[in-house]
Every structure is written in structure tokens, then in C-alpha cells.
Amino acid sequence: MPARLESGVRARLGDASRPWGHAVAIGAAAAAVLMAVTSTGDVILLGVLLGLAASDAVAGGVAILAGAGVIGRWGTSSLAALAGGQAVVGAGGWTGSELTVASTWGGALALLLVCPPGLAPAAAFGATAAQIVAGPALAEGSSTGMIALRVLVPLGGMVVAMALARLVPRPIARTGAVLVGVVAAGLAFAS
């Protein structure tokens, strides 16, 4: 790999001055992506992994808040049950009452806002947000277009997360994420 490209990739992956801590963060991000994409595991564990991926307690707290929203809406902390629920009644982002839809989008927005700069955290937070808004229900029917859409949604989440991390100042993004996360969780339990 050319040195300039390698340097650029390393810079995008994050702070290279702490390789061991960074390895933990990358590992946590990979674990979170796998959990979100395959819809296995528990939203609380996923929230902890996202916090580790971001190396940020606030990000972890927001991720767990988003998980609380999922629990409030779907009545379970299992990602498999979340996927099953969406496969039966439809994607969370446009199925259900106004309150539940708003809480779903709020949880996803909080995740995207709190995502720190970097490719790995963006992939993890983007995939999780996509799982909350539009889980495997999208792939129902298994047509090529739907499967492509199923792949594109997490990618879209990742792109949005990277864009927000670049465009929105971090203090504003973190504060906004906490507020939106609290409101989303509250809406989920109130609905």
C-alpha cells in the first residue's frame, strides 16, 4: 500500500497515537457492525460496544438510550426479536403510530449525531441506526432490488453519520444527541 494512502487510511480510522486503545475501538466497531447487520444479540450490549467504538461515555449513553427506545417500542432487548417484529409488522421507521415512528427516527438521529469522526465508528453507528429504522423487513420478498436496498440502508446510515460528524460541531452534536435520545426514549415508553 502506498505510504500516502496508508497514512490517509490511518488518519481516517482515528487517533493513531494509541494503537492498543484504538484496536479495542476498532474491534468494538466491527463487533457492533456484525451484531447490527446480522440482527443478533442484545441492544444493551450493542450500546456498550458502540460506546467502546467511539471511546466516549456520552456516545455509549446515547446508544443505550436508543436501545431503551427500542425496548420501549418493541418490548424486548433482543435484536433478533426486533428484526422479527419489523419483518412481521413492517419497518420501524414508517409503521405504527406517529409517536412510535417519531421515537424510532429520534433514536436513529441521536445515534447518527453522536457518532464521532472516523470510518469505523460511522459504520457501527450507521448500521445500528439503519437496523432501528429499517430492519430486515426491507428484504422481505428477496427480490434483488429489495436486497440491494437492504445493503444500501446501512451504507446510507454510515454516510450520513460521517457527514454529520464532519459538518456539525462536536459539542452541539453531542448535546443534541443526548436531548434527542432522551425524547425518543420517552416517546417510545409513552406510546
- Interface ranges with other proteins (CB under 8 A): 3-4, 6-7, 10-11, 13, 16-20, 22-24, 26-35, 38, 40-42, 44-46, 48-49, 57-58, 60-61, 64, 68, 71, 75-81
9 or 148: CB nearest other proteins: 9
Cell of 183: 425524547
CB of 14 to other proteins, least distance (A): 10
71 or 187: CB nearest other proteins: 71
23 or 155: CB nearest other proteins: 23
CB of 68 to other proteins, least distance (A): 7
23 or 152: CB nearest other proteins: 23
24-32 long-range contacts, CB within 8 A, separation 24+: 24/52, 25/52, 25/53, 25/54, 25/55, 25/120, 25/121, 26/53, 26/120, 28/52, 28/53, 28/124, 29/53, 29/120, 29/121, 29/123, 29/124, 30/120, 30/124, 32/124, 32/127, 32/128
CB of 108 to other proteins, least distance (A): 20
CB of 37 to other proteins, least distance (A): 10
